[in-house]
Structure 1
Amino acid sequence: MSSLLVRDVMSTSVVTVAPELGYKQIVDLLVEFGVSAVPVVDPRRRVLGVVSEADLLHKVEFNGEDVHARLFERRRRRLAKEKATGETAASLMTAPPVTITTTATLTQAAQLMEHRNVKRLPVVDDDELLVGIVSRRDLLRRYLREDDVIRADVIESVLRGIMWIDPIEVDVAVTGGHVTLAGKIDRRSSAQIAVRLIRGLDGVVGVTDDDLKWGFDDTTTRLSHTFDA
């Protein structure tokens, strides 16, 4: 069953900066390459942190203001003031970096982005060295699969491959990534499992199974046991 991984959608051409690179040079790189953030790496390409537009904008935010930390000041504002005085990537970056491996699923990447409130993730190999970067836009590539490819995946991977259901028993139609199932199979539980598996396929945006019937509803069967005293 097809399942895209981070390595399948990540960008391998990554703009990086050294820790000592200056503020103005970082701004120039973001503009030149049309990116909103750059990983900060050491000579081995180990990721030390990430400098984003948000990190750079703190200097604009506190332009002309007193940036000395005050007693009981919130940690977030204190860090923002520290970055407002930064002049190199090392002093501007957000660290430690939030990274992900090449073999992570797109679902795991999306969950990590949501949990850590980031728009992109540096991708590292088994040695923790940078090999790419994945963004929110990259994660949407799973929905670019053609309808006929999705239909073949439903039939061969789910129905025939996992569920051992003869595809002749189920009519599968896919339009705009939406899968519609019709026909009849032996058990209701098999239908439920098949639908769940199909929803997890790359490119599937929804499943309609209103016309998928079953011969036996085994989901309501309860086994009773009699115990001797």
Structure 2
Amino acid sequence: MRVWTVDDVMTTAVVTVEPGASYREVVDLLIGRRISAVPVVNESVQVVGVVSEADLLRKIEYAGDEKPRLFDGRRRRDERAKAAVGTAADLMSAPPVIARTGMSIAAAARLMDAENVKRLPVIDDHGRLLGIVARSDLLKAHLRPDDELRDDVLTGMLAPYFADSVREVDAQVSDGAVTLTGRVDRASTADAAGQVTRQVPGVVTVVNAIDWVWDDRQTATGGGYGAA
């Protein structure tokens, strides 16, 4: 099964600014393009930072009150400092939170959550910008057709992992919901089949209705013939 990565869902036509872009230029760009953030790139198209709406709003939030106060914490001082500057290099959040080419969409989702960001510039091994992936882009895997998902489950996931032990297993898919049916020798195989099916990008939920002959999850004294 092919693993979905940020390369599969990212936007490649990315709007960028240079470090010397003025505050007004960045504001005009975000409003004109209806975007909420823009990567800042150098002459080699390497991402050096990101300017977001939140960065730009500091000038409004601290208008006329840019001087640090005695009990301001570091974060507050940084925010006040951004209110007084005028170029992208001064406004941007750096170093940027980025995704490298080939990162799985699951890893990208975890990174966005951990860093509390809404989008990730995608870079190559030299730090050059390839595209940008937003939270909404990560949901594109759930737009995959049901027949494509079924093929991934049966031939892309179950067959390579379990070979002949799941040759009697079938999968029905409806709106991303997978129902596994059939019969296998061991209960642990049935359980594992359900677990790996959940890993297929685009699968929403799994109903595991696979029967088994021997419950190898039981202790040696607990018996175990039957069907789940």
Fold match (TM-score > 0.5): yes
- Letter of the structure 1 residue corresponding to residue 125 of structure 2: D
- CA-atom RMSD in angstroms: 1.5
What secondary structure sits across from 1:134 in the alignment?
strand
Q: Deviation digits for residues 19-73 of structure 1, max 9, x if unmatched?
A: 1110111111111212110011110011111000000011111223x21112231
- Separation (CA, whole Å) in 2 of partners of 1:133 and 1:159: 33
Counterpart in 1 of 2:87? 88
- Separation (CA, whole Å) in 2 of partners of 1:118 and 1:82: 21
- Letter of the structure 2 residue corresponding to residue 176 of structure 1: D
- Letter of the structure 2 residue corresponding to residue 171 of structure 1: D
Q: Provide TM-score, normalisation by structure 1.
A: 0.92
Q: How does 1:46-195 map to 2 (within 5 A)?
A: 46-64=46-64, 66-165=65-164, 169-195=168-194
Counterpart in 1 of 2:213? 215
Q: Provide TM-score, normalisation by structure 2.
A: 0.92
Contact kept in structure 1, 2:149 and 2:176, CA below 8 Å: yes
Contact kept in structure 1, 2:154 and 2:170, CA below 8 Å: no
Q: Deviation digits for residues 133-170 of structure 1, max 9, x if unmatched?
A: 11101111111111111111111122323211466622
Counterpart in 1 of 2:20? 20
- Separation (CA, whole Å) in 2 of partners of 1:140 and 1:58: 31
Structure 1: where are the runs of 5+ without partners? 224-229
- Letter of the structure 1 residue corresponding to residue 11 of structure 2: S
- Letter of the structure 2 residue corresponding to residue 219 of structure 1: R
Q: Deviation digits for residues 82-140 of structure 1, max 9, x if unmatched?
A: 11112110111011111111111001101110111100011110111111111101111
Counterpart in 2 of 1:33? 33
What secondary structure sits across from 1:87 in the alignment?
coil
Structure 2: where are the runs of 5+ without partners? 222-228
Change (3 A) 1:84 1:222: farther
- Number of residue-to-residue matches in the alignment: 221
Contact kept in structure 2, 1:101 and 1:125, CA below 8 Å: yes
- Separation (CA, whole Å) in 1 of partners of 2:139 and 2:97: 20
- Separation (CA, whole Å) in 2 of partners of 1:8 and 1:221: 45
- Separation (CA, whole Å) in 1 of partners of 2:166 and 2:202: 20
Contact kept in structure 2, 1:2 and 1:202, CA below 8 Å: no
Counterpart in 2 of 1:226? none
- Separation (CA, whole Å) in 2 of partners of 1:12 and 1:185: 45
Q: 1:220 Cα deviation (Å)? A: 2.2
- Letter of the structure 1 residue corresponding to residue 213 of structure 2: G
Contact kept in structure 1, 2:169 and 2:182, CA below 8 Å: yes
- Separation (CA, whole Å) in 1 of partners of 2:79 and 2:164: 58
- Separation (CA, whole Å) in 2 of partners of 1:167 and 1:155: 9
What secondary structure sits across from 1:15 in the alignment?
coil
What secondary structure sits across from 2:210 in the alignment?
strand
What secondary structure sits across from 2:182 in the alignment?
strand
Identity %: 48
